[in-house]
A and B are shown apart, each in its own frame.
Chain A
Amino acid sequence: MEQAVQVKELRPPITHIGVIGWVKTNLFNGVFNSILTVATLFFLWKVVPPLLRWAVIDSAWHTTGEACRQAAGACWSVISMNYRFILFGFYPYEQQWRPLLAMLILFGLLFYSRDRSHWKKPLAYAWIIGLFTMGLLMTGGIFGLSSVESTQWGGLPLTLLLAVFGLTAAYPLGVILALGRRSRMPGVKILCILYIELIRGVPLISLLFMSSIIFPLFLPEGVTFNKILRAQAAIILFTAAYIAEVVRGGLQGMARGQYEAAESMGLNYYLTMRLVILPQALKIVIPPTVSILISAFKDTSLVVIIALFDLLKTTQSVLSNPEWMGFSREAYVFIAILYFLGCFSMSNYSRKLEKELSRGD
């Protein structure tokens, strides 16, 4: 039996589609949601205009500290007049193109690495050369570049250095620890478990204290360790433990069949790991690894406590200058934007990557 009458081309009811439909389902479906929408809109109306007035309309953009205090709104001059120091710290003024160039190289490499189809051997070489070049640019001493002591490094390049180098060095260490933790040799396993649990159980600040105060005691007299290096060591040791846990998760997630297939092919432990297990396991855990990178980037700010001049400390130095005292809000908002841009692009990338990986390409 069939429908005797042809159904005309009917349109869905007007309250269900288009703008009205969207507003109804998303903002006003039900009493509770409607009240919520109205309350939220009221709240926004009360808060946003005064905020805009303070930040944009009444603000002073490029004046002296005195003029800034007269302005009713935000004093963005604390940034515009001091940005060289905030961004580069004590690096010699005329040579600041060098850390700038180093950062551009880093951003370029990062940008190029975003596309997974570029992940081949040449890219690895490009990274190694790139990192080496960055180090050269910063230290100088050859190729006609004047030498700049690492004690003068600061600001954004220092933050990036601590984070990027920290993760790069921590990664192999973390992988070794993860393998060690899964080892069947009790001695190695216990050592790795002790290390991982100890480091993960304590706050980073205690490791930074340890590195800045105690490491010098470990060394024979006369041998000194550059302060940045000490902080870098602490960050590496800290990050490695977290990477170890993440990689361990990846290793555990690998099907037993992979191990067995490699074994039956006659591959020894080293080859099994290098050719079969690690490539797969590491790929699975890329998203949590990126999130560790984001944490490392944020955690570099802690070096302010041991008086290293990263981005946070340079900002605070500017604020301790009598001319610019009292404008902490504006200054912190500025570096908040910098940190946010960095972390947001990384977490966005990680989300995109997760989607790609779960689709299986």
Chain B
Amino acid sequence: MIKVRGFKNSAVSEKVPFWLDPKKRAILFQIMTFCMVGLLAYYLTSNTLLNLKKQNIATGFSFLHKESSFEIGESLIPYSAANTYARALLVGALNTIKVAFIGIVITIILGTIIGVARLSTNWIVSKLAAIYIEVMQDLPVLLQLFFWYAIFYETLPPPREAISPTAGLFMSNRGVAFAVPEGHPAHLYMFLAFAAGCGIVYLMRRWARKRQEKTGQIFPVFFVSIGILVGFPLLTWLVFGAPLEMNVPKLGGFNFEGGLTVSPEFIALLLGLVLYTAAFVAEVVRAGIQSVSKGQREAAMAIGLRPAPVLNLVILPQALRVIVPPLTSQMLNLTKNSSLAVAIGYPDFVSVANTTINQTGQSIEGVAIIMAVYLFFSLSTSVFMNRYNKRVALVER
């Protein structure tokens, strides 16, 4: 057997100086980077501690247990100035969730409608949608918020002369008051009927699918589901004698009493966020639908599928894969933009945190809390997004 003397031996016998060895250089570079960052951090921290001491500002999070001594304009849970800062922040967070949740739902619906309209074969509708998308995207969201807030303040009349487009709806510069159904035992049963309807619809869909697999017959699941979800509560309502009493807002003193009132701040924030974000969602939806190649639709039609199954079985599954990731990032943008509420006085999380910072002077802890909360939302959304993408990824070689 011939022993081959070769490269292996020669590489070992040469000693490479550490500043030319790429691996060691990498380690050196990282050590230097860390040192620089560390030094910078040390410098900044020591300055900060010194300055805080000079200005007599406390550190730490103990302020959270102190009394807040400020009121909050609107709140989902009971709150007063005697509560702690922690509770105040909770109120702010709930307000943010409230506007974000409602905003997201409306934005998705509106954005989808506009996106589909943009693709319509009707020239007027498609052009109007295009104009909306272009204009709304090109105006700063803060400007839009101020605009809607100003409309409320300057254009709408005081409650005495409130505009009432229909009975039970009053628009004034103190907000929008509308009638709500008066509490009635029927409501509980209607809700139960609806829940039961949901259960039945779920079971029915499973049954219909099994039936189709077995016999091939197609059951009109969609229409029957709608019938059940609407019909059950409706029937319950009728059974209870069709109670129609409404809690109508009535002018009492300076403002409306009764019914449900929504503040101008909330409506302005909601309007501004929804109209702005819907333009971006419309583009996402449009791009998603257009991403499905024309040939897919043609192949589905060539087999003889009708328009509804073509949409449900072929187009939508492919379009949704393209739509969902940027859609969630738009939803996240809406949530982040809701922080602008501080500019128009809606008590969202940033607003409350800002007041807290102003009162306690503990800006570092305050800003850190704000960032932590939003980071939590962003990162958890990222995680879900990654999982979703992995699950629906088209399998390729």
Contact = CB atoms under 8 A, between A and B. Distances in A.
Interface string A311-322: 010001000000
Secondary structure at the A interface, as helix, strand, loop or mixed, is helix
Contacts of B154: 326-329
A203 B141 CA distance: 13
A187 B34 contact: yes
B48 A217 contact: yes
Interface stretch (B145-153, B201-209, B220-228, B305-313): B145-153
B29 A332 contact: no
B138 A343 contact: yes
Given A36-B122, A185-B26, A340-B139, A329 B155 contact: yes
Contact of A41 (B124, B135, B141): B124
Contact of B340 (A184, A205, A210, A294): A205
B169 to A, nearest CB: 20
Contact of B343 (A184, A198, A304, A326): A304
Contacts of A96: none
Contacts of B34: 187
Contacts of B47: 217-220
Q: How many A residues are at the interface, by size bracket? A: 35 or more
Given A214-B363, A332-B143, A347-B138, A36 B125 contact: yes
Contact of B122 (A37, A202, A305, A326): A37
A209 B142 contact: no
A302 B134 CA distance: 21
A29 B122 CA distance: 8
B371 A206 contact: yes
A185 B357 CA distance: 39
Interface in A185-203: 185-188, 191, 197-198, 200-203
Contacts of A36: 120, 122, 124-125
Nearest to B338: A203
Contacts of B377: 201
B50 A221 contact: yes
Contacts of B140: 298-299, 301, 312, 339
Contact of A302 (B30, B33, B135, B340): B340
Given A26-B121, A198-B371, A206-B350, A217 B379 contact: no
B142 A312 contact: yes
A221 B51 contact: yes
A335 interface: yes
Nearest to A29: B121
B367 A210 contact: yes
A106 to B, nearest CB: 19
A16 to B, nearest CB: 15
A200 B378 contact: yes
A199 B323 CA distance: 24
B238 to A, nearest CB: 32
Contact of A214 (B54, B146, B151, B367): B367
A246 to B, nearest CB: 13
Contacts of B52: 217
Given A187-B33, A217-B51, A205 B350 contact: yes
B42 to A, nearest CB: 12
A52 B51 CA distance: 58
Contacts of A188: 29-30, 33
Contacts of A110: none
B147 A328 contact: yes
B227 to A, nearest CB: 23
Contacts of A214: 363-364, 367
Given A332-B143, A339-B138, A206 B340 contact: no
Interface string B44-70: 100110111010000000000000000
A226 interface: no
B353 to A, nearest CB: 9
Interface of B: 26, 29-30, 33-34, 37, 44, 47-48, 50-52, 54, 120-125, 128, 134-135, 137-143, 146-147, 150-151, 153-155, 336-337, 339-340, 342-343, 350, 354, 357, 363-364, 367, 370-371, 374-375, 377-379, 382
Interface of A: 25-27, 29, 33, 36-37, 40-41, 184-188, 191, 197-198, 200-206, 209-210, 213-214, 216-221, 294, 298-299, 301-302, 304-305, 312, 316, 326-329, 332, 335-336, 339-340, 343-344, 347
